[in-house]
A and B are shown apart, each in its own frame.
Chain A
Amino acid sequence: MSFDNAYESLVEGHEEKHWAFGTGFTHALSGVDRAISSTVDRDDLAAYCLMLGDDALVYAQRLAEWCAKAPELEEDVALANIALDLLGQARMLLSRAGEIQGTDEDALAYLRDSSEFRNVHLAEIDCGPGPGGDFATTMARLLVFSAWRLALLHRLTGSADPVLAAVAAKGVKELTYHRDHAAQWVLRLAGGTDYSRERMVAGLAVVWPHLDELFTAHPIEHRLAEAGVAVDPAELRSEVDSVLDTVLGAAGLTRPDVASVPGGGRGGVHTEAMAPLLAEMQVVARALPGGVW
C-alpha cells in the first residue's frame, strides 16, 4: 500500500487503528447520566454548551500553537498541559451540544465555519507565536481568560443541569492553577527588566479591549441564567476585576487605558484571526472527508 502523503492512509480501510490523533475516541461523556430536565429548553442548553465549549476549544488551539516555540521547554509543557485541560472541557461540552443537536463533537469541531462558532473574541485573537505575537501578550490573555472562566465555572457548579455542574466542578480545579500560572508570569515579567516590563504593559493593552465582551450576556445566557442553568456573565465582573487588580497591584502595574472593541463572538461574529485558526485546526478533517483516525 503506498500513499502520496501520510494522511491518505486515514481513509484507506478502517480495519486497523492508525497512528494519527483521535484514534477510536468514544463519546466524551460515555457512561455519564445525560438526562435533561423537562424544564430546560434543549436548544438553549445545546447553544450554551457550544458557547462554553467553543471558548475552550478555540483557546486550546491557540495555546497549542506555542508548543515547541515557548521561551523554555517547561513552558512548552505548561501551555500544552493547559490546552489539554481545556480540550477535555471542550470535548465534554461539545459532545453534550452534539447529542442534543443530532451531531457529534468531531463534526462540531471540524466542520463548522467561523460564523457558527460561539466563542468570545479573547479566545481567538492571535497573540503569537507567529508574526506580531508575543509571549507577554500570551500571558496577559491567559490571566484574563482563566480569571474569567474560573469565576464562571465556579458559579456554574451550582447549575440546575447536573452535567454542566459536574463539568464545571472539574474545570474549577484546573482553571485554578492555570490562573496562578499566568499571574506568576505577569509578576515575573513586570518585575524583570525594563524591557520585559514594557512588553508586559504592551501585552495587557492588546487583550484589554476584549474584556467587556466577556461580561456581556447573550439572550440565551440570559434565559438560561433565569432558569438556574447558566451563569449571567455580567455578574462575574466585580470578582474578575478584583482578581485582575490584585495581580496588577502586586506587579506594580495599572489597568491599560484603552478603548473597548465590539464583541459579538456569542452571536457568531468573529475577528479576522478566526478564519486562519480554523483553517489550520480543520485542514485534515476537511481534506479527507470521512477519514477515520
Chain B
Amino acid sequence: MSARQVAEQVLDPELPVLTLADLGVLREVSEVGDRVVVTITPTYSGCPALDEMRSDLHEKLTEAGYRDVEIRTVLHPAWTTDWISDDGLRKLTEHGIAPPSRIGPRAVGPIPLTLEPPKRRVSCPHCGSARTTELSRFGSTACKALRRCEDCREPFEQIKEI
C-alpha cells in the first residue's frame, strides 16, 4: 500500500466512523523513498484529538514499513466542514449524526451577527423527518451541536457548519 493509502485509512479518534481523509483534515501525503511527510490541519483551535491523530498516523505508517515518518501541521487555510467528503457526510448520517450543510466561502466584509438561532433545515438521522429543532449550538465535542426531532422525539447530534 502507498503511504497515501495507509494515511487515508486512519480513523478520526473522536468520530471513528470517518477516516482522516473523509474529515478533510488530511491535507497532503508525500513519499520519497522510505521517507513520508504527512500534513494535517486541526478542526478547532482547542481540538484535543490532534495529538491522537498525529500518533495514530505515525503508528500506522510505521506498521506499514515506513521508517522515516514526519507529521506536519498546517493552520492555513483554516479547516471548514465543507472539506468533509460526500462519503463522509453519508457515513455520518448512517451513524446517527446529522451532517453539516455546505456553506461555501464566506463573503468578505464584517462578520454578520446572528441574533436568533438560524432556521436551518436539518433532517433527523433516525427517521428522516425535517421537523427538528436545535437544543444547543454546543455538544459533546467542539464540532457538534445538539438537536431534537419533533416527530420521533429522539435527540441527535449534528456537525455544525464552520
Interface residues of A (CB under 8 A from B): 24-26, 29-32, 74, 77-78, 81-82, 84-89, 91-92, 150, 154, 162-163, 165-167, 169-174, 176-177, 179-181, 183-184, 187, 239, 243, 246-247, 250
B33 CB within 8 Å of chain A? no
* Known interface pairs A170-B44, A247-B113; 20 further A-B residue pairs with C-beta atoms within 8 A, sorted by A's residue number: A31-B39, A32-B74, A74-B138, A74-B146, A77-B138, A82-B138, A86-B45, A87-B46, A89-B46, A91-B45, A166-B75, A169-B78, A170-B42, A171-B45, A173-B78, A173-B162, A177-B160, A180-B114, A181-B138, A183-B113
Q: How far is the CB of A142 from chain B (nearest CB, A)?
A: 13
Q: Is the CB of B116 within 8 A of A30?
A: no
Whether A85 touches B113, Cβ cut-off 8 Å, given contacts A32-B73, A74-B138, A77-B138, is: no
CB nearest neighbor in B for A24: B51
Q: Is the CB of A89 within 8 A of B45?
A: yes
Task: Judge whether B142 and A84 touch: CB under 8 Å.
Answer: yes
* CB pair B45 A26 closer than 8 Å: no
Give chain A nearest CB distance to B160 CB in angstroms: 8
* Nearest CB in chain A to that of B109: its residue: A154
Chain A binding surface, main DSSP class: helix
Partner of B44, one of A77, A85, A169: A85
Shortest B129–chain A CB gap in Å is 22
Give CA–CA (A247, B112) in the complex, Å: 12
Contact assessment for A81 and B142 in the assembled complex, using a CB-CB cutoff below 8 Å:
yes
B87-131: contact bitstring with A at CB < 8 Å (1 yes, 0 no)?
A: 000000000000000000000001101111100000000000000
With both beta carbons as reference points, the residue of chain B lying nearest to A78 in the complex is identified as: B138
Residue of B nearest to A82 (CB): B138
A25 and B51 contact, CB distance less than 8 A:
yes
In angstroms, Cα B35 to Cα A250, docked, is: 58
Of residues B39, B117, B138, which shows the largest number of chain A Cβ atoms within 10 Å of its Cβ? B138
Q: Scan B67-95; emit 1 where CB is below 8 A from any A CB, else 0.
A: 00011111111111000000000000000
Distance of A239 Cα from B112 Cα, bound (Å): 12
Interface of B is mostly: loop
Q: How far is the CA of A30 from the CA of B77 in the complex (A)?
A: 17
Q: Among the interface residues A32, A78, A91, A173, which one has the most CB atoms of the partner chain B within 10 A?
A: A173
Contacts of A243 in B (CB 8 A): 113
B115 touches A184 (CB 8 A): yes
Nearest neighbor of A187 in chain B, beta-carbon distance: B115
Contact status A74-B76, CB under 8 Å = no
Residues of A with C-beta under 8 A to B72: 31-32
**A contact residues around B80 at 8 Å (CB):** 173
Q: Give min CB distance, B101 to chain A, whole Å.
A: 15
In whole angstroms, how far apart are the Cα atoms of A150 and B110 in the complex? 10
Contact at B136–A78, with CB atoms within 8 Å?
Answer: yes
Most buried by A among B39, B48, B137, B146: B137
Let me know if B76 and A162 touch, CB within 8 A. yes
Q: Is B47 at the interface (CB under 8 A from chain A)? A: yes
State the CA gap A180–B145 with chains docked (Å).
14
Are B139 and A166 within 8 A (Cβ)? no
Q: Name the residue of chain A whose CB is nearest to the CB of B40.
A: A31
Distance of A169 Cα from B72 Cα, bound (Å)? 19
Q: Kindly list chain B residues whose C-beta atoms are within 8 Å of the C-beta of A24.
A: 51
From known contacts A26-B54, A78-B136, A170-B78, infer whether A85 and B46 are also in contact, taking CB-CB under 8 Å: yes
Chain B CB within 10 A, most for which of A91, A165, A170: A170
From A88, A169, A179, A187, name the one whose CB has the most chain B CB atoms within 10 angstroms.
Answer: A88
Contacts of B146 on A, CB cut-off 8 Å?
74, 77
**In the assembly, what is the distance between CA of A92 and CA of B73, in Å?**
12
Q: How far is the CA of A84 from the CA of B142 in the complex (A)?
A: 8
- The residues of A that contact B75 with a CB separation of less than 8 Å are 32, 92, 163, 166-167, 169-170
Known: A30-B73, A77-B138, A239-B110. A85 touches B115 (CB 8 A): no
A153 to chain B: closest residue by CB: B111
Among B42, B111, B135, which residue has its beta carbon within 8 angstroms of that of A154?
B111
